[in-house]
Amino acid sequence: MKEKIFINARIIDPSQNMDEIGSLILNDKGKVKAIGKNVKKIDAGSGAELIDLKSNVLTPGLVDMKAFVGEPGFEYKENFRTLSQAALAGGVTSIVTMPNTKPVIDNVSMVDFIIRRGRDKAKVNLYPCAAITRQLEGQQMSEFGLLKERGIIGFSDVNKTIQNTELMSRIMNYASDLDTLIMQHAEDYELAKNSCINEGEVATRLGLQGVSDIAERIIIERDLSLLSEFPCRYHINQISSNNSLKVIEKNKSNGIRFSTGVSINNLSLNENDIGEFRTFLKLSPPLRTEDDRLSLIDGIKKDLIDVIVSDHTPEDEESKRLPFAQAATGSIGIETLLPLSLELYHNKSLTLEKIIKCLTINPAKILKINKGTLKKGSDADICIFDLEKPWIVKAEELKSKSKNTAIENRKLQGKVKMTFLNGELVYSN
């Protein structure tokens, strides 16, 4: 590999509080050699490849903390190859994959399979999650110690919540001893049972059973109360309401340490977007009110929310084109994660640095991985994008195997031009 030097780049690296026009040099081993406004062409080797970015934005490769890959068992929805293609087209170089495969990732042999398969088929950094409980049934803990030793980054029951309080306290205790990450889906099962939409005027008008945000809030309140007794690395996968934010703010001010995520869907859409039964917008947690959406944006500004995730959930068309109550939950989103996030910059909701921070260094710190930064000596995982380029989302043009995007025909501004992994160009547009 030759040395590379990127010139005339707008470099945004929140890990270094950097937002400046400058240059970046990569060495022949795919590491960052030098970065910043003081870096000159002469600092690169004589045979270095010169890449003029013409003021396009250069950031660390994005880190997505919640995405589903279909292997094994659901290859018809997504596989490692198509997931990595979609991710790289969106500037995402590191992905935390969920364990709700078939069979479930809850034992050592499955972990070995996932790691080998991912290494052979994917071009991105994959960090597999294992199930918190056996078979995602919420009854018996998985073998945390053995699974962590084999390379598991954290534990999640995906879109299922640990309902049993005594079990949850034991999970936190074990996680604390092992210094492992617990990622909880906050939604009380009994309150949310048979629901498919936010409780309120839209649900009433459409004749659908809704779920109140209290189902989310009650789990957050319980878990944060337990966390004060059993401190561990605890992450709320996604929140969706203003009332949840109030609980988070109160607990953070009381010194409770945890992290919080939000789906880009809940930052960009609300329940009114569902219109007349648009099943591609049936999500978990559900889209809520416009006031909730604005509160979530405010939560990012106040550092109450740490990361933005794609919540990439591919589903085949047959499972989505059903009556709303019977339709599958979720949408794809890893390829559009960055462009849709940039909408929040263009409409002046968030600063560009804050958005990039929630997509790079923040998730990397939570996961304790050496990614999301362009500090000297770090892996050269890079996302380069045109901040102003307009385009329209067309499902058939997206690289995911499933096409269930929640933002079909949406006009966006900002598109990924190049993605580098360990200094190698892996995507170019």
**Enzyme catalytic residues:** 311
Instruction: Using alpha carbons only, give the angle 186, 79, 335 rounded to the nearest 5 degrees.
Output: 65
Strand partners, 95: 64, 126
| Beta carbons of 4 and 26 less than 8 angstroms apart | yes
Which is nearest to 214 in space by CA: 177, 186, 233?
A: 186
Distance, in Å, from the CA atom of 423 to the CA atom of 386, rounded to the nearest integer, reads 20
DSSP-assigned letters across all residues of 126-146: EEEEE-SBGGG-SSSB--HHH
In angstroms, how far is CA 37 from the centroid of its own chain? Answer: 30
Distance, in Å, from the CA atom of 186 to the CA atom of 163, rounded to the nearest integer, reads 10
E strand or H helix at 297, and its extent?
helix 290-301
Single-letter amino acid code for the residue at 128 = P
E strand or H helix at 6, and its extent?
strand 4-13
Place of tokens 């890893």: 334
Distance, in Å, from the CA atom of 162 to the CA atom of 108, rounded to the nearest integer, reads 22
| Beta carbons of 117 and 71 less than 8 angstroms apart | yes
How long, in residues, is the chain? Answer: 429
| Beta carbons of 91 and 62 less than 8 angstroms apart | yes
SS3 52: strand
Query: In Å, what is the CA distance from 40 to each residue of 35, 50, 104?
Result: 10, 12, 51
DSSP-assigned letters across all residues of 351-390: -HHHHHHHHTHHHHHHHT-S-S---TTSB--EEEEEEEEE
Strands (E) in 27-156, as ranges, are 32-36, 49-52, 57-60, 62-67, 92-97, 125-130, 154-156
| Beta carbons of 89 and 416 less than 8 angstroms apart | yes
Distance, in Å, from the CA atom of 416 to the CA atom of 90, rounded to the nearest integer, reads 6
